[in-house]
Amino acid sequence: MTPTRIRVLVPTALVLGVLGYLLAELSYSALPPLPPFAPVGLVLLTVLELGMAKVVRDKVRGRSGGRPMHPIQVARAAVLAKASSLGGALLLGLYAGLFAWTFARRDTYVTAGDDARVTGLSALTALALVVTALLLERSCRTPRVDE
């Protein structure tokens, strides 16, 4: 499995940002208002992966007491990290595109101000998820043995 590349995540976020903006441009009035608790799930996943990154890093490097992690557990953490980084990039782009549209029109539409706040917070938490997922993925690597 190859490490996640930033050069894959950035274009993914940009393409979804354009699509999110176009979605709002074409059908914002038909969309329901965004729930204010939308970023909560991303925050919880980010906190979970941040904790996992510390535990996995310490276990892989032999710094913590107790039983070492089974290689399958480390592989599962790496797969979660890869999926979260790509999913976070998708959500980051989508929310950023929606934020750009709603922020510019918050005086025109009644719900645009609230939606701008929700999409802005969601975009920030999606960015935090991407960073945390990349950290978790990095912590799954075995340390180099310098001879």
**Residue pLDDT, tens place only, 117-130:** 999 999 999 999 99
What ranges do the domains of the chain cover? 6-30+38-139
pTM: 0.90
How far apart (Å, rounded) are the C-alpha atoms in residues 89 and 94?
A: 9
What confidence tier does 147 reach under pLDDT thresholds 50, 70, 90?
Answer: very low
How far apart (Å, rounded) are the C-alpha atoms in residues 92 and 74?
A: 26
